[in-house]
Structure 1
Amino acid sequence: MKHFRFSFIFSIICLGIAAYWGFTHGPEAGISTMLQALSVTAILAIMEVSLSFDNAVVNASVLRSWDHFWKMIFLTLGMIIAVFGMRLVFPIVIVAVTANMNMMDVVSMALNDPKNYSMRLIEHHAEIAAFGGAFLALVFFNFFLDAEKDTHWFKWLEKRLTNLANVPAMSVFLTLIALLVMAHNVGESERLAVTLSGIWGIVVYIGVQVLGHLLGGEPEVDEEASSSGNAANGVIKAGLGGFLYLEVLDASFSFDGVIGAFAITSDVIIIMLGLAIGAMFVRSMTIYLVEKGTLEAYVYLEHGAHYAIGALAVIMLASGTGVHVPEVVTGLIGVAFIVWAVIASIQYSKRQLID
């Protein structure tokens, strides 16, 4: 429980703020609105955890080689960026830029006319999905397109992907194909914006890798990381480059959660509080996985997390073309892959003991 103690304290504080907000804000403020605010905040927190459990596993695979200082930076400054930056400021910036509005006017709209604010944000879901989907697709492909990877869960698929790893820029090639398919299936008026957003997702992914390399010198990939298929993440070392990588990864996961949250409520304060609770638990879960050595104990856990990331990338790219995927499917598919990977890892360990 020590790993989640602060998360529970943080949750109580956020629920208290949500209760106060519901009791005092709006024309129907009172006890009933307060109870509704509490229930919606709790639902959003659970949704965020279910959507981001695979994010915690991938974070742990990167964070396990970091020192205590950078772990604490990730938990403190990273948490502030995740809560206020990605769950509150970033959606406001999107509306301000796309609608050519002043930031303070958008803040006023978010607080006083949340339905109009959510409508303007959802209008640009395709561009957001293209950016996040392209970034997550690269995370997925670079995990499996690894010539040094010798631990395979689905051997028939992963061995073929490993064989493609020697082809230069194969992960970028496959991601660009997925982006072109998406762009082909959106309206002509959106096509350029969607394509540019997806290209920016690719540029940001590669840019963070380059920055991590320049700041950290030559990459040092240990044999254990390479054998588990984590050589691609091994270059993301502790430092500013690694920190930025995890923050952009978290942002890509949060896009879908923020958009999905508006289907439940249009109150930006409640959305921020609910998603903040979920984000805090994901970070606590990340530290727990690192300190307990869970990734070493469950050999296919990283594989399951990356399959879930691949599925989320497909869902995001498809949703940008107008295909509706229920939020429950988006959340449960990640949990399903994680549970499946844990079961497969236990079975693998038993076979090793017998052999």
Structure 2
Amino acid sequence: MQQGNNPSAGGSTNGTHRPTLHYFKWSFIVTVLGLALGAVLGWQTTGTVGGTLTIFFICAVLAVLEISLSFDNAIVNANKLKEMTPKWQRRFLTWGILIAVFGMRIVFPLLIVVIAANIGPWQAMVLAASQPDEYSRIMHEAHLPIAAFGGTFLMMVGLSFFFDHEKDVHWVRWLEHRMQRYATVRGIEVAVVLVTVLIFSRFLEGADSQVFFHSAIWGLLTFLLVEVLGGLLDSSQEAMQ
């Protein structure tokens, strides 16, 4: 596949050069709309100019934080995309953005409230819009299972990076060299995570220990299912080439 014919591999499409900012047009539009809606929400909630500016400032800080934390994802995605066919590049970007933006930012928090408060999805949306204090209280009470699930998942992501025998870029060379020696041991990341989960669960008592352990196991299972799905998609893409 020639790079000049691939719209995603440069700044040209059909021989015409587009400015880099052209590809960020909708990103800027959505960002401006989001900040404007934040200002409207601030006015409706507080009714004062100071309160509106405060909520607008919070929305702006959150936008900057989200953009900053997304840079590493963009780099990883770019490395994946350059190895895909144009068809799979479009699928990756389309479904990946839908899952990341709407799934993890909107659906997942609502799902937590649905499960924790034992209410329906529509009631959870109404609660988020009309009773933010109650919504915040439910999310705060669900901190332990969220931390266990997310921490286990992210720990598997990190260990998969460090226990990689093909990796040639090292951040902490003396540690990563030692971890790289055991990278070929099958299931070593899972074993490390399970031992860590068991140790932390011993510091908790009663129901909290059970909630922590079960949530961590679900986090581990979710990561393994994502890995299986990724392997199936890679096999499907190789078969189509």
The runs of 5 or more residues in structure 2 that have no matched partner are 1-19
Residue type matched to 2:197 in 1?
L
- Does residue 127 of structure 2 align to residue 127 of structure 1? no
Equivalent-residue separation in structure 2 for 1:84 and 1:214 (angstroms): 24
Could you say which structure has the larger radius of gyration?
Answer: 2
Q: Offset of 1:185 from its aligned partner? A: 2.6
The runs of 5 or more residues in structure 1 that have no matched partner are 221-237, 239-355
Q: SS of the counterpart of 1:166?
A: coil
Equivalent-residue separation in structure 2 for 1:172 and 1:77 (angstroms): 28
Q: Which of 34, 38, 53 is the matching residue for 1:18?
A: 38
- Does residue 29 of structure 2 align to residue 9 of structure 1? yes
Task: Among all aligned residue pairs of Structure 1 and Structure 2, give the percentage whose two residues are the same amino acid.
Answer: 39
Residue type matched to 1:11 in 2?
T
Report 1:27-176 matches (<5 A): 28-176=46-194
* Cα-to-partner distance string for 1:65-104 (whole Å, 9 max, x where unaligned): 2233333344444333333322222212111112212222
Q: Contact 1:22–1:29 (CA<8 Å) still a contact in 2? A: yes
Q: Offset of 1:219 from its aligned partner? A: 9.2
Equivalent-residue separation in structure 1 for 2:203 and 2:78 (angstroms): 36
Residue type matched to 1:85 in 2?
G
**Distance of aligned partners of 1:35 and 1:67 in 2 relative to their CA distance in 1, 3 Å threshold:** farther
Q: SS of the counterpart of 2:165?
A: coil
**Distance of aligned partners of 1:149 and 1:89 in 2 relative to their CA distance in 1, 3 Å threshold:** closer
Equivalent-residue separation in structure 2 for 1:59 and 1:215 (angstroms): 15
Q: Offset of 1:218 from its aligned partner? A: 8.2
Equivalent-residue separation in structure 2 for 1:51 and 1:180 (angstroms): 30
Q: Contact 1:92–1:107 (CA<8 Å) still a contact in 2? A: yes
Residue type matched to 2:165 in 1?
A
Q: Which residue of 2 aligns with 1:334?
A: none
Equivalent-residue separation in structure 2 for 1:187 and 1:49 (angstroms): 39
Q: Contact 1:127–1:197 (CA<8 Å) still a contact in 2? A: yes
Give the aligned length: 220
Report 1:1-355 matches (<5 A): 1-2=20-21, 3-23=23-43, 25-26=44-45, 28-217=46-235
Q: Which residue of 1 aligns with 2:5?
A: none
Equivalent-residue separation in structure 2 for 1:116 and 1:29 (angstroms): 21
Residue type matched to 2:157 in 1?
V
TM score, norm. by length of structure 2: 0.79
Q: Offset of 1:171 from its aligned partner? A: 0.8
**Distance of aligned partners of 1:61 and 1:140 in 2 relative to their CA distance in 1, 3 Å threshold:** farther
Q: Contact 1:213–1:219 (CA<8 Å) still a contact in 2? A: no
Equivalent-residue separation in structure 2 for 1:65 and 1:109 (angstroms): 44
* Cα-to-partner distance string for 1:289-327 (whole Å, 9 max, x where unaligned): xxxxxxxxxxxxxxxxxxxxxxxxxxxxxxxxxxxxxxx
Q: Offset of 1:30 from its aligned partner? A: 4.5
TM score, norm. by length of structure 1: 0.55
**Distance of aligned partners of 1:177 and 1:54 in 2 relative to their CA distance in 1, 3 Å threshold:** farther
**Distance of aligned partners of 1:151 and 1:87 in 2 relative to their CA distance in 1, 3 Å threshold:** closer
Equivalent-residue separation in structure 2 for 1:51 and 1:125 (angstroms): 21
Residue type matched to 1:34 in 2?
T
Residue type matched to 2:27 in 1?
S
Q: Offset of 1:206 from its aligned partner? A: 1.4
**Distance of aligned partners of 1:90 and 1:153 in 2 relative to their CA distance in 1, 3 Å threshold:** closer
* Cα-to-partner distance string for 1:124-170 (whole Å, 9 max, x where unaligned): 11111111111111111112212233443433111111111122200
Q: Offset of 1:121 from its aligned partner? A: 0.8
Q: What RMSD, in angstroms, separates the aligned Cα atoms of the two structures?
A: 2.6
**Distance of aligned partners of 1:158 and 1:69 in 2 relative to their CA distance in 1, 3 Å threshold:** same
Whose relative contact order is higher, 1 or 2, with alpha carbons under 8 Å and at least 6 apart? 1
Residue type matched to 1:123 in 2?
E
Equivalent-residue separation in structure 1 for 2:79 and 2:147 (angstroms): 25
